[in-house]
Amino acid sequence: MSRIGNMPVTIPSGVTVSPTNGQLTVKGPKGTLSRSVPDNITIKVDGDVAKVERANEEKSVRSLHGLVRALLANMVTGVSDGFSKELIIEGVGYRAEMQGKQLKLLLGFSHPILMDVPEGLSLDVDKRGLTVKVNGIDKEQVGQFAVNIRRHRPPEPYKGKGVRYAGEHIRRKAGKAGAAA
């Protein structure tokens, strides 16, 4: 019995959900998302509520039931509200800036890191270059691009220098005992 899979997904006004031939398409004010649906999973739309149902009780089908419902809910949220991840850059001389369609990161290496911004994402970099906000309608794409930025210089435990998520707690270490004297 999947508790997540049995929960209905409420569809806000202005959003249309259309399941056809194993494809799920969600259209909203911010854009359109589509994804393939496994064969044994069906999506029924009734007014402003969508329900995910499974064909049988096999373990492989049961495991996909909650997954498809969560993906549908994320698609509906994405096309209506969108998703965002905020990254904070800490360190002397560490900063980010936009160069056309590329993100330029200065993270203490001998060279700047240039990253192409994928289609469907937008970046907001503050004036000082210390915070980067990744915005988009696809939750998976927003999260993956934020991880790719953070991967270049994850925060270190002694001074906290590096790229971290907003609200992320970094466990700090004391360092050398003789350094304080």
**33, 78 in Cβ contact below 8 A?**
yes
Give residue-wise pLDDT tens across range 137-171. 999 999 999 999 999 999 999 999 999 999 999 99
Q: Distance (Å, rounded) from C-alpha 47 to C-alpha 33?
A: 20
- pLDDT value of residue 3: 85
Give residue-wise pLDDT tens across range 84-137. 999 999 999 999 999 999 999 999 999 999 999 999 999 999 999 999 999 999
Domains of the chain listed by start with CATH number: 3-80 (3.90.930.12), 83-165 (3.90.930.12)
> CA 116, 122, 125 angle in degrees (round to 5)?
85
Does residue 178 carry a pLDDT above 80?
no
Give residue-wise pLDDT tens across range 32-82. 999 999 989 999 999 899 999 998 989 989 889 999 999 999 999 999 999
**60, 5 in Cβ contact below 8 A?**
no
pTM of the shown model: 0.89
- pLDDT value of residue 168: 92
